[in-house]
Amino acid sequence: MAGRLIVVSNRIPTDDNVSGGLMVALHDALGYSGGIWIGAHSETSENTDDIVDLGGTAYRKLAFRLTDEELQNYYLGYANSVLWPLCHRRGDLVEMNSDYQAAYRRVNARVARILSQVIQPDDIVWVHDYHFLPLGAEMRRLGVTNRVGFFLHVPFPSLGDLSVLSQPQEFAADLASYNLIGLQTRADVARCLEMYRADPRAEFMNDGSIKFLDRITSVRSFPIGIDTKGFALEAQQNEQPFGKQAPETFLIGVDRLDYSKGLPNRFKGFAAYLQRRPDGSQPCLVQIAPPTREKVRAYQDITRELEEIAGHVNGSFAELDWTPLRYIHRSVPRARLARLYRKARACLVTSLADGMNLVAKEYVAAQDPEDPGVLILSRFAGAAEDMTQAVLINPYDIEDIARAIDVALAMPLAERKARNAALLQVVEATDVSVWSQNFLRVLKACPADFDFAPFF
């Protein structure tokens, strides 16, 4: 019998909430093979033995519990105040704290124990993202020899970034516990290989895989995408996304409110464009940015900074009948988002660092091929590696952002159509179902790991 799939991710869908490309793709992959989806429970509990079975028909969902202290030190602490800034080249925001690190390892060891209790010999395991870097190593410690793959959704850190960690050599050892390390881009793969090249414990095999102590690991890029057809269909509904106050010409930005997304420079770039726009034009920037990780100081700071800049832009340019910057600080239903993208003349993605950036792909998929808008895309988003027909920008350069808005709003129809068609090909080629199938196919083909020798 073919083995089941076990997926581990920070969030798991609740019964009526399988939405968003990634969630749907994993849901589908689990639906084909049967198996288990393991993730953190949304409510904390002091009883961490309490594994909550959330049921399910085609596959089971199991939620592990975090205590309040673990939510603080593991999730907000090590994951989001050490690893997140580290991977997004913000060493200045990394908060070193030994309690964070201890909680991170403890939670990963606990999840490994849960896994070792439910896993069967033919199962394969797919671990997602920076919350679970040491999960593979903890599973190996418990004697699990199944194929285990890891996918990192965020940028792979450079050697310099890694040196911020107190034990950077653990990063390489933890990752080498997986049979397959999946990364978003070829540039991420290059940085990962650079890390192993600098590590005397690693040896490169002829086929490009890495022998680390006694284990063989492959490193490959699997650029993530969206449910392209589904999203395009949502965008084609006729319903008006605005109420009465629809702006005539608008650009759109959609991001979690995160310092990695380059929002201050985006607002400043838009202001620089307004300064020199053609006479009489009244373009709007509609920025949708729901808050995340609000308990982390760096997120409180960026929220305050953006409110100030937004107030300044509107204070300087607004007229009685025109608000240039519409800054919406909450989530928007996906169908409405899709229709907003379709009506927007351009989309601004200004990330200072970004694993992929799905907004760029959603915007392209949502366009009317007969009259498409223009994608303005940061060179530092993973998406830019293949989406080269976007108007590429340096998000650190405010003048460059202003120039790109100018170019986008003045672009002739023929050029818009040609660029959108080329971009759509990239989006279709990296559809999220292709992404998950490719990853699982490569993981299943990895050499098995039955002669494991522990590292530590």
Binding-site string for ligand ADQ from residue 194 to residue 233, where x marks contact by CB under 6 A and - marks none = ------------------------------x---------
Binding-site string for ligand ADQ from residue 360 to residue 389, where x marks contact by CB under 6 A and - marks none = --x---------------------------
**Angle, helices 228-235/358-366, rounded to nearest 10 degrees:** 50
Q: Which stretch binds ligand ADQ (CB under 6 A): 274-282, 317-325, 348-356, 408-416?
A: 348-356
Work out which of 76, 93, 103, 254 binds ligand ADQ, going by CB under 6 A: 254
Rounded least distance, CB 223 to ligand ADQ, Å: 9
**Could you tell me if 202 and 228 are in contact, meaning their C-beta atoms sit under 8 angstroms apart?**
no
- Is residue 331 involved in binding ligand ADQ (CB under 6 A)? yes
Q: Which two tokens stand for residue 223?
A: 């650029």
**Nearer CB in complex with ligand ADQ: 20/31:** 20
CA distance 418 to 194: 37
> CB-based burial of residue 92 (10 Å sphere; 0-12 exposed, 13-18 middle, 19+ buried)?
exposed
- Is residue 138 involved in binding ligand ADQ (CB under 6 A)? no
Q: Which stretch binds ligand ADQ (CB under 6 A): 11-19, 59-67, 329-337, 404-412?
A: 329-337
Number of shown-chain residues binding ligand ADQ (CB under 6 A): 20
Work out which of 247, 269, 355, 395 binds ligand ADQ, going by CB under 6 A: 355
**Could you tell me if 439 and 150 are in contact, meaning their C-beta atoms sit under 8 angstroms apart?**
no
**Nearer CB in complex with ligand ADQ: 120/331:** 331
**Nearer CB in complex with ligand ADQ: 132/212:** 132
**Nearer CB in complex with ligand ADQ: 202/325:** 325
CA distance 427 to 343: 19
**Nearer CB in complex with ligand ADQ: 199/362:** 362
Window 256 to 315, contacts with ligand ADQ (CB under 6 A):
256, 288, 290
Rounded least distance, CB 115 to ligand ADQ, Å: 22
Rounded least distance, CB 1 to ligand ADQ, Å: 31
Work out which of 63, 125, 359, 375 binds ligand ADQ, going by CB under 6 A: 359
- Is residue 358 involved in binding ligand ADQ (CB under 6 A)? yes
CA distance 305 to 156: 27
- The set of catalytic residues is 153, 354
Window 64 to 123, contacts with ligand ADQ (CB under 6 A):
none
CA distance 40 to 42: 6
69 by DSSP, 3-state: which?
helix
> CB-based burial of residue 53 (10 Å sphere; 0-12 exposed, 13-18 middle, 19+ buried)?
exposed
Sign of CA dihedral 293, 299, 302, 308: positive
Q: Which two tokens stand for residue 234?
A: 């949502």
CA distance 356 to 315: 34
Rounded least distance, CB 255 to ligand ADQ, Å: 6
**Could you tell me if 289 and 393 are in contact, meaning their C-beta atoms sit under 8 angstroms apart?**
no
Q: What share of the chain is helix, strand, coil (3-state, %, to 5)?
A: 45, 15, 40
Rounded least distance, CB 356 to ligand ADQ, Å: 3
Residue ranges with strand state E in 255-345: 284-288, 325-328
> CB-based burial of residue 303 (10 Å sphere; 0-12 exposed, 13-18 middle, 19+ buried)?
middle
At position 322, the amino acid (one-letter code) is: W
**Nearer CB in complex with ligand ADQ: 149/355:** 355
Rounded least distance, CB 416 to ligand ADQ, Å: 22
Q: Which stretch binds ligand ADQ (CB under 6 A): 23-31, 69-77, 253-261, 448-456?
A: 253-261
DSSP designation for 447:
P
Nearest to 132 by CA among 118, 152, 113, 116: 152
Work out which of 337, 364, 365, 374 binds ligand ADQ, going by CB under 6 A: 337
Binding-site string for ligand ADQ from residue 144 to residue 163, where x marks contact by CB under 6 A and - marks none = ---------xx---------
Work out which of 357, 378, 389, 436 binds ligand ADQ, going by CB under 6 A: 357
Interface residues with ligand ADQ (CB under 6 A) are: 20, 22, 153-154, 224, 254-256, 288, 290, 331-332, 337, 354-359, 362
